């Protein structure tokens, strides 16, 4: 057990949000967006991504774990290369869009949310809402859409050293429109999360992100292999009586993003600290994420080998 914990901790330590590219390259794209707009930035991005996919072993290696499980039949080297290019290009589109959202203003993108009223009804229950997201689509544009709902928003987010990507509001020299809770803070930010739900906030967490050496995970099937997913969102829901809303975003056209309420998960109160008690609810999230990957296979942007954690257990 001790060796398993050490291996899982080492794997988590290799999970980094360090950005692709250099600081000056990010700055170049920001200037390009401001002067010539998104379309021109896209064209240059396609060329830059091609260079990285061809000549950066790190980029290709970061694409391999997910692509090999989402497309197990695609074993040819050229097909793998093309899939990696497509996936990183989709990431590039979302990064350009996120920057444009801040630089050019919200009018440059349209956001649709068919189940928006259902989310409002969950908020009206008065126990806060645990909003579980994933590394899909453009979550920052999604979060901006929630600001139109008359309820405070808190986001659990850690910015790792080497993360050069600016949040959309940083392009406006503005304070964050949401409360940021850093899981690297005291007690992992858990007291701030509890207080946010007690204050009836929308509390956003990543359902596929394990931070640090956290052992509070459950291993479930995801795309044909075992993956450790965090227990925290569901434990918080059980503690506070809050519904869990699984919301994913996807880019649906040049200027449009769609939000979908993929699941509403009801976690019974008082489940306590036994991780296994939360397995059914984590499995429900994993199923929702698999469905997303089937519909939008190249908009899943978790470039960490999630399955390494399961294999090392």
The Cα–Cα gap between 124 and 146 comes to 14
Per-residue confidence in pLDDT tens, the chain, 313 aa = 444 444 444 444 444 445 566 776 778 888 899 999 999 999 999 999 999 999 999 999 999 999 999 999 998 999 999 999 999 999 999 999 988 988 888 888 999 999 989 999 999 999 999 999 999 998 777 777 777 777 888 888 876 655 556 555 555 555 666 788 888 777 788 999 999 999 999 999 999 988 655 588 999 999 999 999 999 999 999 999 999 999 999 999 999 999 999 999 999 999 999 999 999 999 999 999 999 999 999 999 999 899 986 655 5
Q: Cβ distance 19 to 163 under 8 Å?
A: yes
Q: Domain coordinates of the chain in residue numbers? A: 2-311
pTM flag (> 0.85): yes
Measured distance CA(233)–CA(238) in Å, rounded: 9
DSSP readout, 24-85? HHHHHHHHHHHHH-HHHHHHHHHHHHHHHHHH-HHHHHHHHHHHHHHSTT---HHHHHHHHH
What span, in angstroms and rounded, lies between the C-alpha atoms of 174 and 121? 30
- What are 160's two structure tokens? 């790792």
Fold annotation for 2-311: Glycerol-3-phosphate (1)-acyltransferase (3.40.1130)
Length of the chain: 313
The alpha helices in 134-209, defined as continuous H runs, are 139-146, 190-198
C-alpha span between 61 and 80 (Å, rounded): 11
**Cα–Cα distance measured from residue 52 to residue 45, given in angstroms and rounded to the nearest whole number:** 10
Q: Which residues of 119-152 are buried (b: 16+ CB within 10 A; e: fewer)?
A: beebbeeeebbbbbbbbbbbbbbbbbbbeeeebb
| pLDDT tens readout for residues 29-85 | 888 999 999 999 999 999 999 999 999 999 999 999 999 999 999 989 999 999 999
SS3 17: coil
CB 296 within 8 A of CB 249: no
């Amino acid at each position: 057990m001790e060796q398993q914990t050490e291996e899982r901790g080492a794997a988590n330590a290799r999970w980094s949000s360090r950005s692709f590219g250099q600081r000056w390259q990010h700055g170049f794209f920001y200037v390009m967006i401001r002067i010539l707009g998104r379309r021109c930035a896209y064209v240059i991005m396609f060329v830059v991504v091609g260079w990285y996919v061809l000549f950066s072993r790190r980029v290709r290696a970061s694409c391999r774990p997910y692509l090999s499980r989402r497309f197990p039949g695609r074993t040819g080297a050229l097909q793998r290369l093309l899939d990696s290019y497509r996936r990183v290009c989709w990431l590039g589109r979302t990064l350009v869009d996120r920057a444009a959202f801040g630089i050019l203003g919200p009018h440059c993108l349209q956001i649709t949310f068919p189940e928006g009223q259902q989310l409002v009804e969950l908020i009206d229950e008065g126990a806060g809402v645990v909003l579980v997201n994933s590394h899909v689509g453009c979550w920052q544009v999604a979060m901006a859409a929630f600001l139109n709902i008359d309820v405070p928003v808190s986001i659990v987010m850690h910015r790792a050293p080497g993360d050069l990507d600016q949040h959309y509001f940083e392009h406006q020299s503005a304070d964050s429109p949401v409360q940021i809770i850093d899981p690297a803070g005291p007690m992992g930010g858990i007291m701030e999360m509890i207080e946010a739900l007690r204050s009836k906030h929308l509390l956003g967490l990543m359902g596929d992100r394990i931070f640090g050496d956290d052992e509070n995970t459950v291993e479930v099937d995801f795309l044909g292999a075992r993956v450790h997913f965090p227990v925290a969102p569901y434990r918080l829901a059980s503690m506070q009586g809050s519904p869990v809303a699984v919301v994913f975003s996807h880019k649906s056209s040049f200027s449009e993003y769609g939000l979908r309420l993929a699941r509403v998960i009801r976690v019974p109160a008082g489940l306590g600290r036994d991780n296994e008690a939360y397995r059914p609810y984590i499995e429900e999230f994993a199923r929702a994420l698999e469905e997303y990957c089937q519909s939008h296979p190249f908009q899943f942007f978790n470039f960490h080998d999630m399955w390494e954690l399961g294999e090392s257990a």
